[in-house]
């Protein structure tokens, strides 16, 4: 199996970074999906292009800051590496938070309905996360625990996981997560015309992804520090599930109250 590591390929002496290529690909697909849905719903496409680009930037920044925060003892001793994102170290949960905060700010800035915009973005976001996990699979990042399962794979030198476990087979957790993300993506497309209220797609995406992430973390081999026998990602996932369900209940009650008036 082909595992390119941090460098996907080279054009002459110029390296094309695997992470950078995945971000670019996710952004292009996301822009296409968002623009198409925005036009269908009568929202000016120019706003959504700006929205998508800034949300990607906010997501990347949030993902890096989240990772650095929980690895601070290491980065405090190696501050120059904080900016070396091509060496791995983007936490999706921090990316969701960063992108969401930027998205809320931009929606309010342009006086767009926040929950409607969130629903437009939700399928593109989970698709982008799937593409990102495929990138992790190719570079050996976000790797699983060593295993003798037939599903386990061995990575060659030059990949991130090889530096930890050598050629010992590990579970390809990024690939499993990418498959789960694509299933969630398909589910969102399936229900988008039957959603009960604005914001439902986005909140469903958060709850479903967090459930997926909580489960898969039991087999991750590179997770950030643990607390109360749970990993940080699992605690974050639990908090996200609770918040998403809480907002869904609140939005449903708002819809019922509006119908009674």
Cα gap 228→106, rounded to integer Å = 37
pTM of this prediction?
A: 0.89
Q: Which candidate, 65, 66, 85, places its Cα nearest to that of 19? A: 85
- Structure confidence by residue, pLDDT tens digits, 51-66: 778 888 888 888 888 8
Question: Who's near 101: CB < 8 A, 6+ residues apart?
Answer: 58, 62
Report domain extents, the chain: 11-191
Residue 133 annotated as binding site? yes
Q: What angle, 0 to 180 degrees and rounded to 10, lies between the N-to-C axes of helices 232-260 and 200-216?
A: 160
Q: Give the pLDDT confidence of 225-240 residue by residue, as tens digits.
A: 666 678 888 999 999 9
How far is 261 from 252, CA to CA, in rounded Å? 15
Each residue's pLDDT tens digit, 183-223: 999 999 999 999 999 999 999 999 999 999 999 999 998 76
pLDDT of res. 174 = 94
């Amino acid at each position: 199996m082909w595992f390119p590591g941090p460098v996907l390929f080279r054009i002459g002496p110029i390296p094309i970074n695997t992470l950078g290529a995945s971000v670019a690909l996710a952004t292009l697909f996301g822009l296409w999906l968002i623009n198409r849905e925005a036009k269908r719903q009568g929202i000016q496409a120019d706003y959504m292009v700006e929205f998508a680009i800034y949300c990607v930037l906010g997501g990347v920044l949030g993902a890096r800051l989240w990772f650095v925060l929980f690895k601070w003892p290491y980065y405090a001793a190696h501050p120059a590496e904080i900016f070396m994102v091509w060496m791995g170290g983007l936490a999706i949960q921090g990316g969701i938070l960063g992108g969401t905060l930027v998205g809320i700010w931009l929606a309010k800035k342009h006086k767009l309905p926040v929950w409607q915009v969130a629903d437009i973005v939700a399928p593109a976001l989970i698709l982008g996360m799937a593409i990102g996990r495929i990138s992790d699979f190719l570079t050996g990042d976000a790797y699983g625990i060593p295993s003798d399962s037939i599903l386990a794979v061995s990575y060659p030198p030059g990949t991130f996981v090889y530096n930890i476990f050598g050629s010992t087979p590990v579970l390809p957790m990024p690939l499993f997560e990418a498959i789960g993300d694509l299933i969630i993506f398909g589910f969102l497309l399936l229900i988008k015309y039957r959603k009960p209220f604005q914001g439902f797609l986005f909140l469903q995406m958060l709850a479903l992804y967090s459930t997926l992430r909580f489960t898969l973390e039991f087999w991750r081999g590179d997770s950030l520090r643990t607390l109360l026998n749970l990993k940080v990602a699992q605690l974050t996932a639990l908090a996200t599930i609770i918040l998403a369900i809480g907002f869904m209940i609140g939005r449903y009650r708002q819809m019922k109250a509006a119908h009674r008036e």
